[in-house]
Amino acid sequence: MTTRRHKVHTQLGRAAVQIFAANDRMNQFLIEHLDPTAWRAKPPGKARTIAAIFTHIHNVRTKWVRLSAPHLKVPPQLNRAHCTPQQVRAGLAESAARCAEMLAEALGGSGGRVQKFRRDGWARPWQVGPEMLCYMLSHEAHHRGQVCMLAHQLGFALPNAYAIWNWEKLWKECGSSGGPGYDS
């Protein structure tokens, strides 16, 4: 994933950008290692497909950027019925880059233009702070859990899924040499 390095003046801001990059790397990793036939496999009941879940993650990110940082270029939304894994991976990379810019402005201590975090049009805006990052991460972690559970239920093993917990490796894959806590 190629992301621009942001001039971030606070430890929290630098850490937020790196943490969100590692978060996106987890999503990318799951898609990379997912059996292609699982992408559109019909889950039991009225559950979303794996394609729809990852498309939702991207589309929600674009909403966060549009509502909280409208001065940034908002990536186009994806159609869950027609997106390929490659299209979703590219979309996720782009929306992750915009979210990183938004976090850098919000938490970077440079008086950025992002002053409020707007999760949705119906929700009360929040002051920017660690809660913003925590909300973003928990939303995506929830959906990653759905993907792992759904893949398992549909009979598509993710034998390397444990790698999403190797934060030192994820951190390095995202361009940070020292690992969590060392160069943020």
What dihedral angle (degrees, nearest 10) is formed by the CA atoms of 50, 51, 54, 55? Answer: -150
On average, the pLDDT of the chain sits at 90
Contact 128, 29 (CB under 8 A): no
Contact 96, 4 (CB under 8 A): no
Q: Is the pLDDT of residue 60 over 80?
A: yes
Hey, what are 137's tokens? Answer: 């991460």
Place of tokens 């801001």: 13
Predicted TM-score (pTM) of the model is 0.90
Residues of the chain with pLDDT > 70, as a percent, come to: 93
**Comparing 170 with 153, which gets the higher pLDDT?**
153
Question: Nearest to residue 139, comparing CAs of 87, 99, 171?
Answer: 99
Hey, what are 36's tokens? Answer: 């292609």
Q: What is the pLDDT confidence band of residue 159, given thresholds at 50, 70 and 90?
A: confident
The pLDDT assigned to 7 comes to: 58
pLDDT tens digits, 63-113:
999 999 999 999 999 999 999 999 999 999 999 999 999 999 999 877 779
Residue type, 14: R
Place of tokens 């707007």: 118
d(CA 140, CA 66): 18
What dihedral angle (degrees, nearest 10) is formed by the CA atoms of 42, 76, 104, 97? Answer: 70
Sorted by where each begins, the domain ranges of the chain are 11-173
d(CA 35, CA 131): 35
Q: What is the mean pLDDT of residues 169-182?
A: 78
**Residue 127, H or E segment:** strand 126-127
The pLDDT assigned to 3 comes to: 45
Q: Which of 23-37, 72-86, 105-119, 138-152 bottoms out in mean pLDDT, i.e. has the lowest?
A: 105-119
Residue 177 DSSP code: S
The pLDDT assigned to 85 comes to: 97
CATH superfamily of 11-173: dinb family like domain (1.20.120.450)
- In sequence order, the β-bridge partners of residue 27 are none
